[in-house]
Amino acid sequence: MQSAEIHPDDDMYTGSLEHYEKCGNQFAGFAEQAAGLVGRSTRRVLELPCGYGRVTRQLVKHFDPSRIEVADIMIPAVDYTTRTFGVTGHYVADPVNEFRTIPAGEFDIGLMGSLLTHLSESNARTVLENFLAKLSADGVAVVTTHGVRAHEMLSSGGWFEVAPGDKTALLTAYSMGSYGFANYTPDQPFEKKTVDYIGRSYGVSLIPHAWMVEQADELGYRILKFSPGAWDNHQDVFWLAHR
C-alpha cells in the first residue's frame, strides 16, 4: 500500500524516511504491548499528542481506525491526521493541559509519545493527571520521558537540542533528583514550526525516574513496565495502569 505523504509542517520528519518510520513503528509496538496488558480484543485508543500522524500512520495498521481518537494543540495537525488516516480527532483547547474536550474514563489504551519531554514540571504534572484520567478502569497508558537514557546522552555530549547553559542547568537539576526544563532557544532549528505555533512554554525537559514513580503513586497509578531509552534510543517508556 502506498504510504500517505508526510505533511510539510511535520517537525518529526528531519530528513530520513527510515528514521521517521522506525519511530512510528516502535511506538505502535509499545501500543501493542499495552493492548496485551489490557487483554480485551476491542479497544478504544487515545493518542495524545498526535502531531501530524508519525505514529498514527502506523497505529492504523494495528488497531481499527474507527476506534482510534487523536488529539493535539495544533489544530491543522489534528485536521490532517483525521483526514489522512480516518481516525477521530479532538482539538486541545484552553485550558490546554486539561483536555476537557476528550471524554474521561473511556480509553483502554492511552498513548502519550513525547509530550512530557517538552513541558515544565507544573505543566507536566497537570498533563499527566488529566491524560491518565482518560483511561478506562482497566486501561493502560504508554508515556515517554527524557529520563535515564537522555541523561546519559546529555552527560556524554550526545544530544544536540539544548544550549550549553541549559545543558548545565538540566544536568544540575537531575543530579539533585529534580525535574529540569529549558526553553528552546530562538535560533534552535529543531521543532521550529511547533515552537512557533505553541510559544515559549514548549522546550526540553529532563525527568528523573523517581519523579515519574512519585507522580504515578500520588495520582493512583502503578508502573507496569519501564523501558529506558526504548523509543528511538533516547526516550524512556512507561506503561501505567490504575492501582
Task: Please say which residue, 40 or 100, places its beta carbon nearer to ligand SAM.
Answer: 100
Task: Please say which residue, 8 or 243, places its beta carbon nearer to ligand SAM.
Answer: 8
Minimum distance of ligand SAM from residue 172's CB (angstroms)? 24
Binding region for ligand SAM (CB under 6 A) out of 44-52, 79-87, 132-140, 156-164: 44-52
CA count, 13 A, side-chain hemisphere, 229? 9
Binding region for ligand SAM (CB under 6 A) out of 37-45, 59-67, 70-78, 81-89: 70-78
* β-strand partners of 143: 112, 238
Task: Please say which residue, 91 or 226, places its beta carbon nearer to ligand SAM.
Answer: 91
Q: Is the bond preceding 8 in cis, omega lying within 30 degrees of 0?
A: no
Minimum distance of ligand SAM from residue 11's CB (angstroms)? 7
Residue type, position 36, single letter: G
Closest CA to 153 of 202, 206, 192: 206
Size of the site for ligand SAM (CB under 6 A): 20
Q: Indicate whether 51 belongs to the interface with ligand SAM (CB under 6 A).
A: yes
Contacts with 114 (C-beta within 8 Å, 6 or more apart), sequence order = 49, 144, 231, 235
The packing angle between helices 148-155 and 164-175, to 10°, is 130
- Which residues inside 178-197 make contact with ligand SAM, applying CB under 6 A? 194
Write the CA distances from 235 to 112, 205, 206, integer angstroms.
12, 11, 10
Task: Please say which residue, 37 or 111, places its beta carbon nearer to ligand SAM.
Answer: 111
Binding mask 86-115 for ligand SAM (x = CB under 6 A): ------x---xx---------------xxx
* β-strand partners of 109: 45, 140
For the chain, give the number of residues.
243
- Report residue 77 as a C-alpha cell: 495537525
Residue nearest to ligand SAM (CB): 51
Binding site for ligand SAM (CB under 6 A): 12, 49-51, 54-55, 72-74, 77, 92, 96-97, 113-115, 118, 194, 198, 202
